[in-house]
Amino acid sequence: MRIHYLILLLAFLVSCGHREYKMPHTDRTRGLVKELLSKLDSTDVYAARKERVINSLKAGLPGKTDRDRVLLNCNIAKEYSDYVVDSSLIYLQRASRIAGEAGLDSLKMRADIMLAMLMEEAGFYSEAREIISSVPRKAVSGKLLADYYNAWAVLYHNLYSDFNEPDSFEKKYRESYNVYRDSLLSVADTMSILYLHNIERKAARLGNFAEARRYNDIRLSSIKDRNSAAYATCLYDRFMIAYYYERNLTGEAVDDLLESAIIEVSNSKQDIASLLRVEALLIGINEVNAAKKVSDYYFSSLQRLGSRRRLIDGAGLTIKINDRNAQLIRKRNRELQSTLVLISLLLFALVFALVSINRSRIKITRLKDNLEQSYNITKNYIGVVFQLYSSYIKRLDVFRMRVHTRLKKGQIEQALELTSPLGDIASVERKELFHNFDTAFVDIFPDFLQTVNGCLKPEARIVPKKTEILSTELRILALIKLGIEDSTRIAEMLQCSVKTVYNHRSGLKSRLAVTEEEFEKVISEL
């Protein structure tokens, strides 16, 4: 899915205003939102069910014949394709190898086409092009020919949709996509899901929205299992006709989106584009906690999936969602400041009018609660942003390792397509992450360093370097202040070893001028 779809929706929500925006809805919408959030609490159950299906297929291995072995490996790969990409790749490669060794040309072409499609969705475009190019076009026939053209169409669709590709190539890729899509439409069964999906998208792009919805209706009616991934995809495409192509978001379209997300979560799918749209809508109506729950599941599911393309896109989208959360927090703070001014004036009037002490105490308690709520929101925001950046650095390192592996194997062209000769990206990102965290933390806790040093022996006080705001030792203590006390988690976020964290924590305790209990109390009350 193209990353700017979400950006457009967020811009629309911002322009509507925090209070003025009302999400289109029907009588079913609220119940569907509640059901989706409930489903997110049961994901372990759905994952276990998915594992049982996969294990039942594995139990049939190795199969009585070579044909059986190929088909079993393909079916297992299909189950893994939206669950764990690496496992799916292994089984598809195995199916292709077995078919090739056994001389089963048709099955080998089928496995190779499936493998190319998976590579495309994972973002390995060069590898996908190499695989699909190896399939002899003249030998492909029947339904496999439609799948063959679809693999090419999806490749070029992803290429012109990918922001990492040069802009100058977009027109070329789009033209190639149109050619292969039309080739697909010319050979596919007109009642097949593949044909209906592509003709529906073509009609929507041409502005024939009624025609696009008619094809979508035919797809929906042809899918008997209303809890299947195919049915969820059809509902999502119906939402996109209204939202992206027609630009007319209705309550019915929102319900289609929510129902699609519910089905895909229930099927333990790990790449759920519909959740991004749900998240944006929830943020638009100021349901920040619900949106955060959806966002956390979406990003963790991408990590489980292991798709390079989805991880990179998902990181960018998550950053933008957190930016939107920051805007909401700032707006709440402004509203709180206005409220504080009004309360102060009211308190003055009440004192002047000799209002009872009891009523004044109630107002002061309310003021305290509001301040504590604002304080908690600020802490949560810092923790979320810091963890997000830390995860992003880790993904960059994984990405670079893949590039290193390709270079080690002599695959220079593939490595050049994945990256360019830049400097140490992870190091730069890490420095920027620490700088942003330090700045935000010190803004909120300006007396932090002074308070910490006041608890240390005079000769053991901490003085950060001129080039840094907080030292590593202070940064560890800052994370503990934010409620992140587990050393393993701190080490992961700071990109250092657990031993380093333990050493810093132990060293700090040994230099205290007060008891450890007194130190913890001072820090918690800061």
Query: Structural domain boundaries of the chain?
Result: 445-526
Average pLDDT, the chain: 81
Higher pLDDT, 508 or 402: 508
Q: What is the DSSP secondary-structure string of 268-326?
A: T-S--HHHHHHHHHHHHTT-HHHHHHHHHHHHHHHHHHT-HHHHHHHHHHHHHHHHHHH
b/e code 272-282 from CB counts within 10 Å (16+ = b): bbbbbbbbbbb
For residues 24, 29, 30 and 33, what is the CA-based torsion angle, rounded to 10 degrees? Answer: -110
Q: Where are the alpha helices (DSSP H) in 59-192?
A: 66-80, 85-102, 105-122, 125-134, 143-161, 170-187
pLDDT at 359: 73
Q: Which residues contact 125 (CB under 8 A, 6 or more apart)?
A: 119, 155, 158, 159, 162, 417
Closest CA to 276 of 294, 300, 250: 294
Using alpha carbons, select from 424, 119, 173, 161 the residue that is nearest to residue 313. Answer: 161
For residues 77 and 88, the answer to whether their CB atoms sit within 8 Å is yes
Please state, as a whole number, how many other Cβ atoms lie within 10 Å of the Cβ of residue 283: 26
Report pLDDT for 311: 55
pLDDT at 134 > cutoff 80: yes
Identify the weakest region by mean pLDDT among 42-46, 301-305, 337-341, 352-356: 352-356
**pTM score, whole prediction:** 0.57
Q: Which residue has the higher pLDDT, 502 or 291?
A: 502
CA 307 vs CA 84, 103, 319, 406, 490: distances in Å: 8, 31, 18, 17, 26
Cβ(124)–Cβ(308) under 8 Å?
yes
* pLDDT value for 155: 92
Give whichever of 10-24, 384-398, 476-490 has the largest mean pLDDT.
476-490
Percent of the chain at pLDDT exceeding 90: 37
Q: Which helix (H) or strand (E) holds 473?
A: helix 472-481
pLDDT at res. 5 = 39
**Looking at per-residue confidence, does 162 or 217 come out higher?**
217
pLDDT above 70 covers a percentage of the chain that reads: 77
Inform me whether the pLDDT recorded for 171 exceeds 70. Answer: yes
pLDDT band at 148 (very low <50, low <70, confident <90, very high): very high
Averaged pLDDT, 234-260? 94
User: pLDDT confidence of 383, banded at 50, 70, 90?
Assistant: low
Q: What is the pLDDT of residue 177?
A: 94
pLDDT(100) > 50: yes
pLDDT of residue 16: 46
How far is Cα 484 from Cα 139, in angstroms, rounded to an integer? Answer: 59
| pLDDT for the residue numbered 11 | 42
Asked if the model's pLDDT at residue 418 lies above 80, the reply is: no
pLDDT, position 243: 92
pLDDT at 20: 46
Give residue 442's pLDDT band: very low, low, confident or very high (50, 70, 90).
Answer: confident
Q: Which of 80-84, 383-387, 426-430, 464-468 has the lowest mean pLDDT?
A: 383-387
- Report residue 169's pLDDT band, with 50, 70 and 90 as the boundaries: confident
pLDDT tens readout for residues 109-119: 999 999 999 98
Looking at residue 339, its pLDDT comes to 73
Q: Which residue has the tokens 């600020």?
A: 378
Q: What is the DSSP letter of 168?
A: G
The rounded radius of gyration (Å) of the Cα atoms in the chain is 28
Q: Which pLDDT value is given to residue 489?
A: 87
CATH topology (fold) of 445-526: Arc Repressor Mutant, subunit A (1.10.10)
Question: Given this model, what pLDDT does residue 9 score?
Answer: 40
Output 26 or 372, whichever has higher pLDDT. 26
Has residue 6 got a pLDDT over 50? no
Least confident of 226-235, 240-249, 436-445, 466-475: 436-445
Task: Tell me the C-alpha distance between 223 and 47, whole Å.
Answer: 24
pLDDT in tens, 65-94: 999 999 999 999 999 988 888 899 999 999
The larger pLDDT score, comparing residue 467 to residue 206, is at 206
What is the rounded CA–CA span in Å between residue 294 and residue 253? Answer: 19
